[in-house]
Structure 1
Amino acid sequence: MGALQRITGWVFLNDPEWSEEKRREQSLVRRLDIFFMTYAAFSSIVKWLDQNNVQNAYVSGMQEDLSLYGNELNYFTTYFNIGYVIMIPFSVYFMNDWIRPSIWLATAELLWGIATAGLAAVKTAHQIYGIRFLVGFFEGTAWPGTMILILSWYTPSELGKRIAVYEASTYVGSMFGGAPQAALYRNL
């Protein structure tokens, strides 16, 4: 069998050497890669941007707008991390024993988005402390939830690439994180 025929068989899931079960399995893996892994990668990028948006906003004028001249930036990060650390064991427990991950993760993502949007209305550092705690709390379910799903749906031979893609997407967010912030700062 030629290399071109093998590649086209893999791309179109019609390799003549595959059994019907192998075709169905490869079709499922392909759908998971297209839909779930794409979502997981974009989610990781957005979560990284969110974790660093306060630092970017702080140096772009929030410090002066809200009269922040102490350790407030450190407290913003601390409250976020407290919420994040509290949520990790609860999220794993809930997803394993109480609520399906599809419901739990979607609910946490929705609440995370609402809490993140709430940052636009703050007027004091104390309000930011509370909202950053909530943002960290709801975001704390993202990494363990995604790992549970990756480990549940992929075989051991498929895990390495998928976990690498998910973790690498965080660094993609860090590479491009400053550009949207600079554009917003310049144009708003």
Structure 2
Amino acid sequence: MEASTMDEKKMSVPGDETTSIDGRSAHSPVEGSIESRDLDKAYLYLNHQSEAAETVDLKTLRRKIDWWIVPIMFACYTLQFIDKVVINYAAVMGITKDLGLVGNNFSNVASAFFIAYLIAEVPNGYFLQKVPVAKWLAANVFLWGVATACTAAAFNYHSLLVARIFLGIFEASIAPCLMLISSQWYTKSEQAPRFSLWYCGLGVGQIIGGIVSFGFQHVEHSSLKGWQLMFIVLGVITSLVGVATYFILPDTPMKAKFLTEAEKVALLKHVSVNQTGIENHHFKLTHILEVLMDVQIWLMVILTVL
């Protein structure tokens, strides 16, 4: 199959012959050595398409996908940053005094989040292979919203520690999910600009977090502290975004209700140049070995740690 780019004005979607992800005709037999569970779902989808010939404007298609996918990813990433650092705003608002934190208690609470975050990344890789990535993201966004809201109920060091551990576990899914979703909808050359868009949530989160903290410092309530109200409100907002993610974000391009069948075929053929597939739930231990043997992965680890 001849690779195409989003910069092209038009892309023809043939109806009498469907080209598979690896460039073979959809009507060509699959080699006997390949098990059905090893086949990518996008390949199987294209293999059963019989759409009439149409011409799809890739520029329009890209804009349509951007407006549907990128905003929800941006919202999720912004909220994960705010919910992660809101504990620092709470410290200014008196949480350390109200919960009787002493010595290294607050530092331990902050460290517990990242330790849980790191450990949870391991099973995340397995679950992302087994369940739809959009649903996994939605579930974790909802749950870390619950963990954020529950932080308002913390009454001592240990209860605060537990809340932060659960927050770290659920937030660990955000980066892998967003990168995997981006790879489903965009070619490698198109992914970097989209990464930068949802990654802007870090900066926006800092701005919003400071404003939110300032606002709740001036809120008076008869039974709740300002920091407690802040955790509750942010937690509820995050959980609502998680619910919205569940209904808005499609599991795969093949299940996108906002795309026509011709647009789905055009998109799948377009992103096939990634040679990474779209969806396959067969987990292989060899995948782990490939990651551990990849020099680029270890370089990324070193750069991230430093």
> What TM-score do the two structures reach when normalised by structure 2?
0.53
Indicate how the Cα distance of structure 1 residues 150 and 19 shifts in structure 2: closer, same or farther if over 3 A, else same: closer
Structure 1 CA distance, aligned partners of 2:169 and 2:161? 12
Higher helix share: 1
Shift of 1:154: 0.4
Paired residues in the alignment total 171
1:118 pairs with 2:150: yes
AA matched with 1:156: K
Structure 1 CA distance, aligned partners of 2:192 and 2:142? 29
Once the two structures are superposed, the pairs formed by residues 132-171 of structure 1 within 5 Å of their partners are: 132-171=164-203
Once the two structures are superposed, the pairs formed by residues 64-83 of structure 1 within 5 Å of their partners are: 64-83=97-116
**Structure 2 match to 1:40:** 73
Deviation per residue, 1:120-167 (Å, 9 max, x gap): 111011001111000000010011111111122101221121011121
Runs of 4+ aligned structure 1 residues displaced above 6 Å come to none
Describe the SS at the equivalent of 2:10.
Answer: coil
**Structure 1 match to 2:240:** none
When Rg is computed on C-alpha atoms for both structures, the one with the higher figure is: 2
Q: Which runs of 5+ in 2 are unaligned?
A: 1-8, 14-54, 221-306
**Root-mean-square deviation (Å):** 1.7
Match of 2:127 among 91, 94, 97: 94
Shift of 1:176: 3.0
Match of 1:55 among 88, 91, 115: 88
Q: Which runs of 5+ in 1 are unaligned?
A: 1-16
Identity %: 27
Describe the SS at the equivalent of 1:177.
Answer: helix
> What TM-score do the two structures reach when normalised by structure 1?
0.84
**Structure 1 match to 2:31:** none
**Structure 1 match to 2:162:** 130
Structure 1 CA distance, aligned partners of 2:197 and 2:118? 24
Structure 1 CA distance, aligned partners of 2:214 and 2:73? 25
AA matched with 2:62: V
